[in-house]
Amino acid sequence: MKYSSIIMTVAVGSMLFATSCSKEVKTELETYKVEPTTLTETVTATGTMESVTQVDVGTQVTGIIQNLYADFNDVVQKGQLLAELEKTTLDAELKSADASVLSAKSTYEYTQRNYQRDKALHDEKLISDYEFQTSQHDYEVAKLNYEKAQADRVRAAKNVNYAEIYSPIDGVVISREVEVGQTVVSSMNVANLYIIADLDQMQVVGNVDEADIGKVKVGQHVTFTVDAYTDDVFEGTVKQVRLNPTTTSNVVTYEVIVSASNPEHKLIPGMTANLTIYAVQLNNILAIPPKSMKFAPMMDDDKESGERDVTGMAVEPLAEPSKNSVWVVRDNKLVQTAVQTGITNGIMQQITGGLQAGDVIAVQYMTEAPDGDDGKAQRSPFMPKPPGSDKKKK
């Protein structure tokens, strides 16, 4: 799509001097050729890189770190052994739990036999109710103690297993919090040993200004850059628009979550990303400069020229007024044409009907003073002033 110009020379009587001499002023018609293009409207923001999945790996038991099998930046697989705690105390607790189970089982079986015997005697009314109830009570208590001993044994065995720490996900070790020989204490909070992140899938938590948040929708295309790789442009998609506002120095922003794949692991947590969110992205459409819809032919004052503009082209207006119209250059004529419009990004206006690819439309008139003139010839307001035009003549 290129701008072009139709240039014609118009004889104009000069009024710059008292003499009757005349000079020529060049009048240009700036035009625009309609061709398929891409119309975009973007929202910019900054944000921080985060991994979508990040796990703090810890231990639920107290002990001394005996072995570490992973370090910073190691790639680990789910189920891989990462560290071991010293197990002496845990093994002793498991043996004690085994002994408690055997003792409780023996007591339970003994009281069970007594209960069954006393129940038979009580049914024959050979013992008192008190003796039977005492036997029944001893049996029930022994049964509960046996069940508790079994549960304690399960917990002790589980604690021994907790002494071996395995990776819960596939990922990369981004932090190691302990050293060999260090004691980790399990209390209300799990003692952290590692932080593992899945770097294959990353997300950017962007901060979008309240003036732009209405344009951002889930699913929109996003490109972003990071300072570490200035020549690379990464791509993502708006995954979530969070409604909770953040106010800093009277500036209100909203968090927008952008998901992005990271197969090369270039993106790492904590990086600052410069986001470009494509609020509007239309491909292969027709669009024109908005000012072309405000164009009106500048008619020639010479009555003998007929219905022609100052460039000498014939002018054919619409028979009926239209809300939106442009002037198309056809066969050396300006033909007013009604158009249907779509969205605009302030720079280009989408045209949904009335024009075809290849049409040439008028944008504005441009006038240029002849050589040697003092610059007082008529000029378009869109053209810059000549150098020194603001200086007063002495």
Residue 375 falls in which region: left (phi positive, over 0), alpha (psi -120 to 50) or beta: left
Residue 310 pLDDT: 86
> Which pLDDT belongs to residue 19?
33
Phi, psi dihedrals of residue 10, rounded to the nearest 5°? -120, 130
Tell me how far apart the alpha carbons of residues 129 and 113 are, in angstroms, rounded to a whole number: 18
Which is it for strands 314-316 and 333-338: parallel, antiparallel or unpaired?
parallel
Per-residue model confidence (pLDDT) at position 14:
27
In whole angstroms, what is the distance from residue 194 CA to residue 192 CA? 6
Instruction: Calculate the alpha carbon distances from 95 to 90, 99, 107, 164 in Å.
Output: 9, 6, 19, 18
The number of C-alpha atoms within 13 Å of 319 and in the hemisphere containing its C-beta is: 0
| Burial of residue 17 (number of CB atoms within 10 Å: 0-12, 13-18, 19+) | exposed
List the chain pLDDT tens, one digit each, 394 residues: 444 433 333 323 222 222 334 456 788 899 999 999 999 999 999 999 999 999 999 888 889 999 999 999 999 999 999 999 999 999 999 999 999 999 999 999 999 999 999 999 999 999 999 999 999 999 999 999 999 999 999 999 999 999 999 999 999 999 999 999 999 987 656 678 999 999 999 999 999 999 999 999 999 999 999 999 999 999 999 999 999 999 999 999 999 999 999 999 999 999 999 999 999 989 999 999 999 999 999 987 765 556 888 888 999 999 888 899 999 999 999 999 999 999 998 899 999 999 999 999 999 998 876 655 544 444 444 444 444 444 444 3
Work out the end-to-end distance of the chain between its first and last CA atoms, rounded to an integer number of angstroms.
46
Please name which of 243, 250, 235, 247 lies closest in space to residue 214, comparing C-alpha atoms: 243
List, for residues 53-107, the tens digit of each pLDDT value.
Answer: 999 998 888 899 999 999 999 999 999 999 999 999 999 999 999 999 999 999 9
d(CA 324, CA 338) in angstroms, rounded, equals: 6
The answer to whether the CB of 361 falls within 8 A of the CB of 370 is no
What is the full DSSP assignment across 17-51?
SSS---EEEEEEEEEEE--EEEEEEEEEEEEEEEE
Residue whose C-alpha is closest to residue 46's, from 238, 231, 207:
207
According to the model, what pLDDT value does residue 162 have? 92
